[in-house]
Amino acid sequence: MSLFENAQVTTRNSDGVAEAPRFKKADVVRFPGTTEIPAYMHEVYEWAYVNPFNVYLLDRDWVVDTILFGNNGRLVRAFLKEISPGQRVLQSAHVYGDVIPKLATKIGPAGFLDIIDVVPVQADHAREKVKGMDHVRVRIADAADPGDDLYDVVSCFFLLHELPSDKKRAAVDALLDRVGPGGKAVFVDYHNPHRFHPLRWLLAGVFAWLEPFAAEMWQHAITDFAARAGDFRWQTKTFFGGLYQVTVATRS
């Protein structure tokens, strides 16, 4: 299989001069150096994100809503409020359920949605969800190495808590670097809940069992992961007794 299978379409203008390559809608593009699945995906998340049969079983709205204790709808609404039609948006990973098509629909054909994921089967699922949408591209890439483009909005939806510490820092820095002038990054993720939150200890158990890198979201604000946090204005809104956050970093 070619590394650049379905990668790009080069067109020529009426003078026969090649125009800048454009990407065909929703094709999965494989860039050199970015196709490696990181070790933690196999060691920790193989069952959830790499095994194709499990991905088929889990990629459903009700699964996500159960994991988020019924908060998926309000978190997605808060997330989509940060996006406007016509914007250029980088989505830093595939998300189970219908977030991806909702995001693509909100951006609309006047905008551009660039979806990356580090696992090929996840990119395939994302591509299925945006079939027929000309303004969407799906690529296999690591959030810590998302490419050179600049965007109006860079989105990181429940990805950070799944990354090991050094990868969290690398991804936050790389994603913030992709925010264009006047643009913003939107992080939706876990947050340290109120200490008497009834689900605090249940979730601490789930983290210890299945999500070994998530507890860091309780110990740090997202700004702690950013080397150049001072280049941005940060605003955090919490949900469900502080269990979740929508943090917006606007380039100042």
Q: β-pairing, 179-190 with 151-157?
A: parallel
* Contact present, 36 and 50 (Cβ < 8 Å): no
Closest CA relative to residue 130, chosen from 147, 146, 113: 113
One character per residue 22-61, x = contact with ligand SAM (rule: CB under 6 A): ----------------x--x-------x------------
Size of site (CB under 6 A) for ligand SAM: 22
245 binds ligand SAM (CB under 6 A): no
Q: Which residues pair with 190 in a beta bridge?
A: 244
Interface residues for ligand SAM in 115-134 (CB under 6 A)? 116-119, 122
Q: Which stretch binds ligand SAM (CB under 6 A): 28-36, 110-118, 217-225, 236-244?
A: 110-118
Q: How far apart are the first and last CA of the chain?
A: 44
Q: Which stretch binds ligand SAM (CB under 6 A): 18-26, 113-121, 185-193, 199-207?
A: 113-121
Tokens representing residue 57 in the block: 């079983």
Closest CA relative to residue 59, chosen from 122, 130, 141, 102: 122
Binder of ligand SAM out of 76, 136, 143, 217 (CB under 6 A): 143
Q: Cβ of residue 48: shortest distance to ligand SAM, in angstroms? A: 8
Furthest CA-CA distance within the chain: 70
Chain residues in the site for ligand SAM (CB under 6 A): 38, 41, 49, 64, 92-96, 116-119, 122, 142-144, 157-159, 162, 167
